[in-house]
Structures are given as structure tokens and as C-alpha cells.
Structure 1
Amino acid sequence: MEWRGRRMSNNIEDRRGGGLGGGAGGGMRIPIRAGGGGGIGLIIVALVLWLGFGINPMQLLGMADDGGSYQQTTSARGPGVSGTSDETDDFVATVLADTEDVWKKRFADAGRNYPEPTLVLFNNAVRSACGTASSATGPFYCPNDQKLYLDLAFFRQLRNQLNSPGDFAQAYVIAHEVGHHVQNLLGVLPQFNRARQSMSERDANAMSVRVELQADCYAGIFAHDDENAGYLESGDIDEALNAAGEIGDDTLQKRSQGVVVPDSFTHGTSAQRAKWFRRGYDGGDMAACDTFSGAI
């Protein structure tokens, strides 16, 4: 991905190095180059695999999440952004700026405003308007404060433990969470959170899958528009598809617990996740991201 030397978003809130990071809606919005990385520590990998890249929406009201991946890679995919902490900070801010450009234009074309989300960087644990989470939770989006939460140590885990290398695999993680923000603005997340109160766990899980697959499709739309803007490089879409295809509930459950339990799926199978990312990328049409009608 061609990201160096381009616009970086100012919608970054850096809470690294300060406990739980300044309260439910707190924290100070400061320049992205605030230093600090921070490690995940001793994370139970099986738990991360089961959760995917984030919190199960069934566990915390209003939180939507992402998925993890694991694949031994022998291709020429890039290693991702793994230089200095400042370089990774700049990459994240640039990807966030790209999502702002993509969705601001699409909302404007539909006659709507796009309130930009804030991305919160944290170490170890963080307090959001949706509750407190640790780094083991992975990246997540909280609709109650319209913020994305990310411990950058996750990118190292993505690359080294989950074997999904490449800078666009990392961009996919951010774009998926921004996809949940789009869902929140369009009313999808509020509707889901209301509906699940009267659902069985099995039905709520099935609905969660459709929510997650739509966020994957929106991540594909981001990739479509970024490619049209001339920012993608050869292999970028393969990196994203590799990640999307390897974070399916079936694949993660096989690796973490040895068995697959379809009724517990919350994100979709590997085939479904790759399919819906590809659908968004190929057509660039939000109408094609309707995961709530018909088979998925």
C-alpha cells in the first residue's frame, strides 16, 4: 500500500502509557506521534483465536469486533508495517484518513453527513463507553462513543502469531472496524442491539454473523475506492483476502479447540468472510453488502 507522505487523520486519541486511558469518554486528543508501543503480554492465543480480532457482540452491549487469522505463509507478501513506532503510528493515521475520504464522499453522494470516528490507541487495557477491555480483546468499535480501539501490539501478533502479514492486512483490520461505524450511522448496530435482547443465543449469534459479514463487505468497498485512488500495490488485495479467509469461525475454532461448533459462530466461516470482502471490493456497491436478505 502506498501510504507514506500522504494525509494523516487528526482523529487519533493516544492513551498509551496511562493505565486505563482516561475514563469512559476521556483521553486527550493529541498528535499521533506520541511514542509508545506496549505489548499484549501473556495472551492466551486460543482465546484470541476464538474471539477473533475483537469482542463478541454478544458479550458487551454495543461493541462490534473483528477476527484473527493464522496461516503459514510462503508467498512474497509484505511483512506489514513493522518499523519504528512512529512509522506504525503514521500508517494507522493514513489508513484512517483514507477511510474518512472514502466514507465522507459516499455519504455526501447520498445526501448525508459522515461524522468521523476517533481511533483510540492504547496499551494493555482501555476504558470505553461500552466498558473496559484488555489488549487480549483485540481491536473493537464502540458505538456508544463512536470510537475505534486498537493496541498496536496486535499488529505484531497478527503478523507473527496469526501469520497474516502485509500492510494491507493491517489496513483491513482498521477498515473492518470503520465498517462497524458505518453500520452504526446507518442504524444497523442499534437495530441489532435492540433485536438481540429478545433472541435466543443461537439466533443472536446468527444475526451477529450477518453484521460482521457486512462490515467485511464495507472493508472491501474501502479497498475498492483506495485502489481507484491509486493507493494500492500489487498483492494488497491478496493480503486482505488472506486475512479475511483465515479469520473465519470454522478455521479459528479448529485451531483453538479442535472442533467446530456452528451454532457458536459470530463472524462467519472463512469462505463467507472472503466472499463478502470480495463482493465489496469487486463491485464497490453498498447495496451489494446486504447480508440480511437471503443466504450468506
Structure 2
Amino acid sequence: MKWEDLRKSRNIKDQRGQSSGRQSSANRGSSMQGSNMGSSLLWMLLGSGGGKGKWLLIAVVAFMLIGGGGSGLFDLGFNTDNSTTTNQTTNTNFEYETSNADVSDEEYDFLAAVLGSTEDYWTEEFARYDLDYRYPTLVVYTGSVQTNGCGFGTTQVGPFYCPADETLYIDLQFYRDLTTQYDAPGDFAMAYVVAHEVGHHVQNLVGTMDQYNAAIRQLSEKEKNALNVRLELQADYYAGAWASFVEGEGILESGDIEEAMQAAHAVGDDTLQEQAYGRTVPDSFTHGTSEQRQAWFMRGFENGTLSGGDTFNEAID
């Protein structure tokens, strides 16, 4: 991925080794016009609406699957005793102190470049529907982090998005873990991870997240898992749509899409459960199989638009 000359986002904060304090205001894009995409996007089952009092933390990777059950804020994974566990995020008002240090390491700059590229794509794509795209913030941390609305996260959770503060959280250790633990090397593998989490931000902006949270209150654990899979596969689709944009910008290099596909395979529920436990329990899947994740990423890459990823009304296999 030829990322060095990309515009680097200013909506990224270095929280590595920082203590608690007051959060400085984030740079934001202009506000969206309304809480949904309007009649032009009625293809979405999960449109706007619903309250924002309760939030579900969405993670791209299933670190929570390793070692059984959930870790920290939530439980979305394999449960060895077949019982169900419900963990809700805590709604805190913790604020953190930003770093004044001049951070220039390559990994940090890479994340800023990828985030900037997603800003460019989604601003352009939202404009096609006469909407304004509001930029998310990306917080880079080490070890653990307190969010502003989704509780406490740790490295073991993996990269995640918090809808309450519209922020992506990434420990850069995961960048290296993609190679050493997940056999998914390459910069575009990590770019896929960022783009997937930005995909959850898109779902938040268009109202999908609200409707999802409202829907799961009426569902059994098995049904919640099945709906969550559709939510995650849509984020994979959005990541693929962004990849189509950067291809058009001449940013991709030979092998980049293969790197993203390998990452999508590595974080499939069936792959992770088989590696961790030697067996799979499909009813516990929350993110989709490796094949599903790859397929929906490629569908986004081939389509390249917001409106082609209706995972809620179409067959996902």
C-alpha cells in the first residue's frame, strides 16, 4: 500500500502511556443532516431511530474468543460451558489527557494515513446522498484504555469502535500480532482492520446501530448472535468499498487485496474457534465465518458503494 503520500488525518490521538485527565476536543467533520439516510436508502432494514442510552461495543477481531468467552466489556464469543453471558458496557464520563509529544513513528503515521483516506472516501460517498460525513476519532493506546461511554478496554479486546464517543481504539501491538499470531502480515491487512472499524462508525451515523440495539432486546442469545454476524459482515462490506476507492486512487500495490483477504480469513469465527478449541459452535458465531467475511469484503470491493451492503435482507452465505 502506497500510503506515505496520503493525507494524514488530524483526528488521531496518541494515548500510549498517558494518565487520566481531561480530553481535549476532537477535530470533527461537519454534522450529518438528520439521523438516517432518508427514503433513498430504504433498502436498509436497520435505518435510523432508537435511543442511544445503551451501547454495544463492536470489535473487529475476536481476541475475546481466545481463552473462552468474553474479555472486559462484553461477551460475544465461544462459551465452553454452553451457558450464555450478558455483559453490558459501563456508561462512564472518564476523560483522558492527550499527548503533546511529537509522535512520528511509522506505525502511527500509517494509521493516520489510512484514517485520512477513509475520511476522504466516506465524505465523498455520503455526499452522493446529500449527507455530511462526521469524522470519527482514532485513539492509539497501550495496555488499557477508558472510553467515554463504552467502559474499559484492554489490548486483549483487540481494535474496537465505541459508538457513544464515535471513536476507534487501537493498541499498536495488534499491528504486530496480525503477523505473529494471526498469520496475516502486510500493511493492508491492518488497513482492513481500520476500515472495518470505520464501517461501524458509518453504521452508527446512518442509524443502523440504533436499530440493532433496539432489535436485540427482543431476541434470544442465539438470535442476537445471528444478527450481530450481519452487523459485522456489513462492516466488512464497507471496508471493501473503501478498498475499491483507494484502488481507484492508485494507492494499492500488488498483493494488498490478498493481505486483506487473509486478515478477514484469520478473524473468522470458525477459524478462531477451531484454533482455540479444536471445534466450532456455529450458534455462538458473532462476526461471521472466514468465508463470509472474505465474501462480503470482496462484494464491497467490487461494488464500491454504500448502498450495496444490505446484509440484513439478503442471504449472507
TM-score, normalising length from structure 2? 0.76
Per the alignment, residue 245 of structure 1 pairs with: 265
Q: Displacement, 1:258?
A: 1.1
Q: Aligned ranges for residues 97-246 of structure 1 at < 5 Å?
A: 97-128=116-147, 129-246=149-266
- Cα distance, 1:89 vs structure 2: 0.8
Deviation at 1:117, TM superposition (A): 0.2
Alignment of 1:31-50 (within 5 A): 47=66
Aligned partner of residue 116 in structure 1, secondary structure: coil
Aligned length: 259
Give 3-state SS (helix, strand or coil) of 1:13's partner.
strand
One-letter code aligned to 1:213: L
- Whether contact under 8 Å (1:49, 1:253) holds in the other structure is no
| Alpha-carbon offset, residue 242 of structure 1 | 1.0
Query: Do the aligned partners of 1:15 and 1:22 also contact (CA within 8 Å) in 2?
Result: no
1:52-131 alignment to 2 at 5 Å?
Answer: 59-61=87-89, 86-128=105-147, 129-131=149-151
Q: Give identity over the alignment, percent.
A: 49
Q: Aligned-pair distance for 1:49?
A: 9.2
Deviation at 1:18, TM superposition (A): 1.9
Q: Which has the larger radius of gyration?
A: 2
How far has the Cα of 1:194 moved from its partner?
1.4
Decide which of 240, 262, 271 is 2:282's aligned counterpart: 262
Residue of structure 1 in register with 2:13 after alignment: 13
Distance (whole Å) between structure 2 residues aligned to residue 49 and residue 105 of structure 1: 41
What root-mean-square deviation, in Å, do the aligned CA atoms of Structure 1 and Structure 2 show? 2.5
Q: Using the alignment, how far apart are the partners of 1:29 and 1:14 within structure 2?
A: 12
Give unmatched runs, 5+ long, in structure 2.
28-62, 77-85, 92-102
Structure 2 CA distance, aligned partners of 1:274 and 1:18? 36
Consecutive unaligned residues of structure 1, counting only runs of 5 or more, are 31-43, 64-83
Inter-partner Cα distance in structure 2 for 1:9 and 1:245: 28
Which residue in the other structure is 1:33 paired with? none
Q: Distance in 1 between matches of 2:142 and 2:222?
A: 33
